[in-house]
Amino acid sequence: MTTTKQAMTLTDAAAAHLKNLMSTREEPSVGLRVGVRSGGCSGMAYTMEFATEPGPYDEIVEDKGVTVLIDPKAIMYLIGTEMDFVSEKLQSGFVFNNPNEKGRCGCGESFRT
């Protein structure tokens, strides 16, 4: 039997926060779509949006009871990424621990590969 590694994983904190966000939405969603776009001071930025249905070529990842849909144009940038949720005194948000990053801007909003 061959096992394949998921393209992306979630920490317990990220999964719990996503479950909470999805449970309070008025519009039902099948999961969270994650992608990348050109922009920011380092060249690329992560995108996230709730998905009402999977796209025809989305990579579907199930982790800790959460469905993550990865935009097919972003898969090569996200392979091996761990998504976390961090809550600190002055800010909280999702953090991407991406082994493909070669650098990140000072504000943490964008990255380069």
DSSP-assigned letters across all residues of the chain: ------SEEE-HHHHHHHHHHHHH-SS--SEEEEEEEE-STTSEEEEEEEESS--TTPEEEEETTEEEEE-TTTHHHHTTEEEEEEE-SS-EEEEEE-TT-SEE-TTSS-EE-
Residue (of 70, 81, 66, 73) closest to 31 by Cα position: 66
Write down the domain spans for the chain.
8-101
Contacts of 4 (CB under 8 A, 6+ apart): none
Topology of the domain comprising 8-101: Hypothetical Protein Aq_1857; Chain: A; (2.60.300)
d(CA 59, CA 72): 7
pTM listed for this prediction? 0.81
Q: What is the mean pLDDT of the chain?
A: 83
Q: Per-residue pLDDT tens for 2-49?
A: 445 788 999 999 999 999 999 998 888 999 999 988 765 657 788 899
Q: What percent of the chain has pLDDT over 70?
A: 81
